[in-house]
Amino acid sequence: MSSTRFLALVFATAGTVFSQTTIPVVVELFTSEGCSSCPPADDLLSRLDAPAGRGGKQRAPLPPGIEVITLGEHVDYWDQLGWKDRFSSPLFSARQQDYGQAFKVAAVYTPQVVVNGGIQVLGSDSRAVQDAIRKAADDPRADVKLTLSSNQTVTIRVGKLPPGSHQAEMLLAITESGVDTGVFGGENSGRILHHAAVVRSLSSLGRLDPKNPGEYTADARLSFKAEWNRLNLKLVLFVQDRTTRRILGAATLKP
């Protein structure tokens, strides 16, 4: 999977303060079209992603004020087992392995959900996922904003990182929802799989030093592939501690 191309400059400015009206919580699902245990987790991610009533789906119940930001990351280690997932990437397999080291688990698995980079649970366990989201909503966070500057450019603003943060990385994902695949091999052969928040691109925009006070600002130029349905795309910016892997803030925007 090729990364989206970005032109970005980062600046530190003094003392600007802003706030978000909702509490963002990032839910990453590591999944594969070749895994027969994954469709229930894909469905749960879809219900977390969908506003109430959209597409006939009932949104997973959560307290008001929480914005669940979903990322469907398709790993590639299932691709040699009868079906090649067209959304899979070694980038997501490597990202999952990084989490495995952070959580000190014996082995990674699918479907696995990681919430705000700090809690991992079985991706099809709705109650465990919702409990993890509620717990993560209490974490201290930086305020993050995305603004569409033009048809192909976004402006990024990140407030001061929470106390105790280490060097952090700004990551920008492009996700696509409403994607279906007819599967003709492997464990899900004969099924039509429905996906939400498929990560089409994930790119680093640079690193932040918590010792530098103030607001960080960046401009990023975007490019979209022709086969992506722009009506179903979403930009997701999140800031991740490079030491603990915890996500320190996030924001979304429709391009």
Buried/exposed 76-109: b ≥16 CB within 10 Å, e otherwise: bbbbeeebebebbbebbbebbeebbebeeeeebb
pLDDT digit string, tens, across residues 7-58? 343 333 333 344 467 899 999 999 999 999 999 999 999 999 976 434 445 5
Structure tokens at 219: 């401009």
CA proximity to 250, closest of 132, 139, 113, 163:
139
**Has residue 220 got a pLDDT over 60?**
yes
3-state secondary structure 13-60: ECCCCCCCCCEEEEEEEEECCCCCCCHHHHHHHHHHHCCCCHHHCCCC
Residue 181's DSSP bridge partners are: 193
pLDDT of residue 191: 98
pLDDT digit string, tens, across residues 92-151? 999 999 999 999 999 999 999 999 999 999 999 999 999 999 999 999 999 999 999 888
Q: Please give the mean pLDDT across all residues of the chain.
A: 89
* Collapsed DSSP state (helix, strand, coil) of residue 81: coil
- The top-level CATH class assigned to 10-253 is mainly beta
pLDDT of residue 131: 96
pLDDT of residue 57: 57
pTM of the model: 0.90
Q: At what angle do helices 126-136 and 39-49 cross, to 10 degrees?
A: 40
Domain boundaries, the chain: 10-253
Q: What is the Cα–Cα distance from 96 to 153, expressed in whole angstroms?
A: 29
Amino acid letter, 243: T
